Structure 1
Amino acid sequence: MKRILLLLLAIGVLAACKSKKKTGRGDEPMTFEDFQTLFTPGTLPYKLTPDTLQLKLADSLALDTAAMHFLPDTLGKGDFGKREQVDYFPLQRIPGSVVNYMAVRGDGRSQSVGYLCFFDKKGKYLSRIRVASTGSADGTTASLLIDNKNVIKISSEKKLDGNRSALKEDFYMVDAKGTTTLIMTNSNGPANAGQIFNPIDTLPRKQKFSGDYTAGDMSIVSIRDGEDNKTFQFFITFSKDNGACKGEISGKGHYLAGNRGEYKDKESSCGIAFQFSAGRVNIREIGGCGAYRGIKCFFEGGFVKKAEKKKKK
């Protein structure tokens, strides 16, 4: 009888060992594939807001020591005290065009912070960027949006007196090495032309209609030379109603007959028509471009060409 009981016990132990899954808890070695399963799979566009950071999460969902081996020891450096207890939670993993993204949440005593971690296509950690937060001492909150073109937008909002708030939007691109580059900053603070970063500014402008066309300090249509005389590169950004309505888009357009140009987005129905004349360009939407602007404003209107500064000999 004892032999039968021992045999049944041994079978039960073996069955339990075979069915035991690696979840990131315990002393079992964890592979990167195991680590990935801790994150909810997602797709672009992806958004991470302060409201998401304020949701209560069970302690059992926090990443343990084994899982943290796939992330840097300095993940929360500068955001939390050296001796502060910080729990890190896996949020989502999203495949990108150049790198893959993993969103991680860090919870301290008084604030929660969201990090966007970059991994190469083989699963190697590259770098991270702080993208969302709530509970900061000065009342500033931050949120993240990655659009379908892998443009990373980090919006920071600080409450001022009364019902006023200061909003700042930083736009980044990331390369295959995990290096982020700031391509533009928008702010509803005092406007000046220096706040516009033109990502195509250094491209050649030898074609007839190449140049910068402006309508106020915070709105520009920038045209640069294309691969041939039938194409052009463009960058459009605008801010209306004291920053309440903004838009931005870039791409490659084609010249048509009669001093006209046209752009059609391959990933959406968005299209923009360009009408060039002496020292001016008029633009209008010929498709829905809501993914690139506010709801109540459009890519439209007239812009005057800026005179180029003469180079000193």
Structure 2
Amino acid sequence: MKKYLFSLGFILILFSCKDDKKTLQAGEIVTSADFVAFYPEVNLPFSVADTTLLKKQNDSMLLELNTFSQFIPDSIWRKDFGKASPKVYALGRAVEKEKENYLFTALVAGSKRAAYLACFSKDNKFLQAMTLVRTGFDNYSSAYGMLDKKFQITTYRDTKKTGGDLIYKRNVYFYDRNGDNFTLIVTEPNEDIIQDVFNPIDTLAANNKFSGDYVQNDRNFVSVRDGKNASEIIFFVHFEKNGGKCNGELKGNARFISPTVAQFVKSDNPCSVEFTFSGSKVTMKEKGGCGSYRDIQCFFSGSYFKKKASTSKGKEKVK
């Protein structure tokens, strides 16, 4: 009997040790695979609200800031926290089978708090990251960010204006592995999607078929307005890539060289850009060197989706 009990106890100890090995501690993170595995797996949909950020975080999920910055560029969060050294908490991880890992992280520095969503490849390589929700920065009444079962990302915020009117903003994105970015696919009223970037052609007429705002997010967009005739468009491009380290802006007139392709050619330098329109999308491609209008390590390129005209603007046109 004693022999049986001893054997049973030994087996239980073995299983206990095996389970302990599965629990990775923050101080044991060495590789990107360790980093991804540290985040507890969560079920979808998974959301993080501003009220969630105000609660006390789980200290067992605390990460060293230096460790976090080894695997996710600090340019992602420094635009919010500046020189502060926020505490970092792993909130959860969602896995798209045979595709990407999505990591949710909360950063806390006093009253300023933010949650970020980072995308890693199936072999644990960092791809992109974006802000899901913030509190302590803006005067929103409520806000949240969510990843649903279709791996679509929703950001939402609302605020009350003078007089009690509630305005809100809901954006829906997906990770585009071909373009390696978070692409905006839905934006709902009623704040302007292009924030904090001056758009010099915003108020020009936008009545032609291809006129409108084509966006990836609020810092990367192509605005198209009516030209002097049907064979010409006026455009303005603004992009910020690699966490704001590579930026570009270009404004000009482009002429259609086919029914769906407009070309911009700069007469006094080699800069040339083509805009190909297809349905509700425009694809931009730099054909000639436009280094005078952008940083050296990025180009005027990528696909942008057309933003639906707001209801209020539509009503104004009817008048």
- TM-score of the superposition, structure 2-length normalised? 0.50
Residue segments in structure 1 that go unaligned for 5+ positions in a row: 1-15, 205-236, 243-313
Separation (CA, whole Å) in 2 of partners of 1:96 and 1:195: 33
Q: Secondary structure at the match of 1:78?
A: helix
SS in 1 for 2:89: strand
Percent of pairs with identical residues:
26
The structure richer in helix per residue is 2
Structure 1 distance, partners of 2:191, 2:156, is 14
**TM superposition shift of 1:179:** 0.7
Out of 278, 281, 284, the position equivalent to 1:202 is 278
Distance 1:131 1:195, change over 3 A: farther
1:258 corresponds to = none
Measure how far apart 1:152 and its partner are: 1.4
- 1:18-167 aligned at under 5 Å gives the runs 22-25=24-27, 30-59=30-59, 61-64=61-64, 65-82=66-83, 84-96=84-96, 98-139=99-140, 141-161=142-162, 163-167=164-168
- C-alpha deviation, 1:68, in angstroms: 3.9
Q: How many residues align?
A: 194
Cα 1:73–1:189, aligned 2, differ >3 Å: closer, same or farther? closer
1:182 counterpart (176, 181, 184): 184
* CA–CA separation in structure 2 for the residues paired with 1:198 and 1:32: 31
CA distance in 2, matches of 1:67, 1:196: 36
**TM-score, with length taken from structure 1:** 0.51
Which has the larger Rg?
1
Measured after TM superposition, the shift of residue 67 of structure 1 is: 4.6
Report SS of the residue matched to 2:52. Answer: helix
User: What displacement does 1:161 show?
Assistant: 3.0
Partner Cα separation in structure 2 for residue 120 and residue 146 of structure 1 = 17
- 8 Å contact from structure 2 (residues 29, 35) kept in 1: no
Q: Deviations over 1:131-171 (max 9, x none)?
A: 11122243364311222222211112223235432101111
Distance 1:198 1:72 in 2: 24
How far apart are the structure 2 equivalents of 1:61 and 1:47?
17
User: Which amino acid is 1:34 matched to?
Assistant: D
Runs (4+) of structure 1 exceeding 6 A deviation are 192-199
1:228-267 to structure 2, matched below 5 A, reads none
Q: Aligned pair in 2 of structure 1 residues 95, 61: CA closer, same or farther (>3 Å)? A: closer
Q: 1:109 to 1:34 in 2, by over 3 A?
A: same
Which secondary structure does the structure 2 equivalent of 1:40 belong to? coil
